[in-house]
Structure 1
Amino acid sequence: MTVPAPGLTPADAASGNWVDRHAPSFLRPFLRLARADRPIGSWLLLIPCWWSVALASAFAARHGLSVDAGQALALMALFALGAVAMRGAGCTWNDILDRDIDGLVERTRGRPLPSGQVTLTGAFVFLALQGLAGLFVLLCLPPFAIAVALSSLGVVAVYPLMKRVIWIPQLVLGLAFSWGALMGFAALIEALPPAALLLYAGSVLWVVGYDTIYAHQDREDDAMVGVKSSARLFAGATRAWLVPLYAGAAGLIGLALWQAGAGPAAYAGLALFAGHLAQQIARLDIDDRDLCLRLFRSNRDAGLLLFAGLALDALLA
């Protein structure tokens, strides 16, 4: 097996990931630029989309609207492709803007741009190719959903700059990463009822919470280079701040279920989701970087627990 040279694999990439093991050598820097060696970001972008598809399907069934399982499954597959493409594009754009800062931070100095694995021109070309993949997905959606999706681009574009401006850039990340919570409703029923907006708001708080945990890995480096983050702002009080963030996320999602007329299976999924978030708060040690990364990654499982409940409720509906 060929392994990358020391210092060229980002510190938070899993050892022996598929990119290092199986991808052609000329593609590896670009796949790392898109974070293909760390798929957790694609999962976390995708999961609100799947929540929305499941909840919108149940909402439609209970309101006499025509949505079949095949339509929902096809939409989930489209969203999976879109999540991979747009997460990769977002990471590429982030690294283009942050290439100088990344070279000063221990965890990120091995990224393709600051380490010289990819040129700036190559990064822009790769960004355009990923944008074309996202455009393909977009054009498969109805006009209302296309309009909703396009309205997110401003938030996505400015997010990488927010760490230089506000103390909780994670809030802007939440606004961008949670947009999928609107998209299932927009695509299936071509409307955004209160249930969709509440699901979106709950997802935003969830993202702020889990990305605060993630940001504790870089707390000292961020302070050194002058980058703002909720991890620096909350510092030793992070656990106390996570309680209202995660409780608010669960509460708003619960209101979304109520607005959608969800059944017991959906609430069971929500209970498992909330329990997982509570367990993260209980285990958190902000000075243990490895634990912070594990807790951050575990949010994929938390999100899938909620999705399982929503999907079962949609089938029963």
Structure 2
Amino acid sequence: LWIGGLLFVGSIIMRGAGCVINDMWDRNLDRQVERTAGRPLASGAVSLRQAGLFLALLLGLGLLILLQMRPLGILLGAVSLVPVVIYPLAKRVTDYPQAVLGLTFNFGALIGWAAISNEVSPAMVLLYLGCWAWTFGYDTIYAHQDKADDAIIGVRSTALAFGGNSKLAIRLSYVVALVLWFLSLALVADGLPFWISLFGLISIGVRMMVQVQRTDLDNPADSLRAFKGEQWSGWIWAAVLMLALVLAG
């Protein structure tokens, strides 16, 4: 529970740090996009110096938490800063910045596993890659909110790259995520915990596909609704895995 609590608080802190870094990089671009023009740095409500000081505070708190982890967890935590810093640049140089975000956003899966086991395992890597594919899919939905502005100012995204094939790409991303999560599950669970987790995984998969079908990607509000709705896939998956762990003893 102690490690779980640290990871939960650490994820909130580092998510905040990542957002600050992203907003620092993108402040000039954000001013040109209707949805993001009101962000603190883009609007001028917060200065670059103030943002830098707040970032330093968040990174300091994150470091204090990270130092409570085992050696491998500390190493992975340090490595995770690299994609956090380079992600905002990805949208300037590639049509697939969501792929970089997936690598960035899901380091918690690696750090959490390492915090408990202090070793790299195939199941750990499969879990991380599954989360990467999931993020690639739901952030493609998110990117559809800004595709009109992005096309004008030269910001690149999978929403623009896939265009009318976006729903197919999102579905394929979710299928890859589900398969990788299943393989990870198969390596570490058996008996009742396995079957409960598999049922949860199938339920999540059905939910994902229904949501993609229902979403109007040309409607920014509907895209945002679908994006936010994917948090429930994460919560359901986490709850099912915790139940399986309890039953496994």
Give TM-score, length-normalised by structure 2: 0.96
Say what the alpha-carbon RMSD is for the aligned residues. Answer: 1.0
Aligned equivalent of 1:66: none
Match in the other structure for 2:155: 227
Retained in 2: the 8 A contact 1:201–1:252?
yes
8 Å contact from structure 1 (residues 199, 256) kept in 2: yes
- Checking the alignment, whether the CA contact within 8 Å between 2:7 and 2:112 is kept in structure 1 is no
Residue 184 of structure 1: CA displacement? 2.1
Q: Alpha-carbon deviation of 1:203?
A: 0.5
SS at match of 2:40: coil
CA distance in structure 1 between the partners assigned to 2:229 and 2:97 by the alignment: 21
Conserved 8 A contact 2:11-2:108:
no
> Within 2, Cα distance between the matches of 1:103 and 1:95?
11
| Per-residue deviation, 1:139 | 1.0
Q: Which of 227, 231, 239 does residue 308 from structure 1 map onto?
A: 239
Shift of 1:261: 2.5
Q: Report if the CA contact (8 A) 2:201-2:237 is conserved.
A: yes
Q: Match for 2:42 among 79, 98, 114?
A: 114
Question: Higher RCO, 1 or 2 (CA under 8 Å, sep at least 6)?
Answer: 1
Partner of 1:30: none
Q: Does 1:154 align with 2:85?
A: no
Q: CA deviation at 1:253?
A: 0.4
Q: Percent identity?
A: 43
Matches within 5 A, 1:1-317: 73-262=1-190, 263-317=194-248
| Distance (whole Å) between structure 2 residues aligned to residue 186 and residue 163 of structure 1 | 30
Deviations 1:166-212 (A, max 9, x none): 10100000001111111222011111211000011110000000000
Uncovered stretches (5+) of structure 2, i.e. residues with no partner: none
Q: Tell me which moved more, 263-272 or 90-99.
A: 263-272
Q: Which has the higher helix share?
A: 2
In the alignment, residue 128 of structure 1 is paired with which amino acid?
A: A
What is the CA deviation profile of residues 227-268 of structure 1, one whole-angstrom value per residue up to 9, with x for unaligned ones?
A: 000001111111111121110000110000011124211112
Indicate the SS of the match to 1:163. helix
Q: Which amino acid aligns with 1:308?
A: A
- Aligned residue type for 1:252: L
Aligned pairs, number: 245
Give, as a single letter, the amino acid of the residue that structure 2 aligns with 1:125.
Answer: L
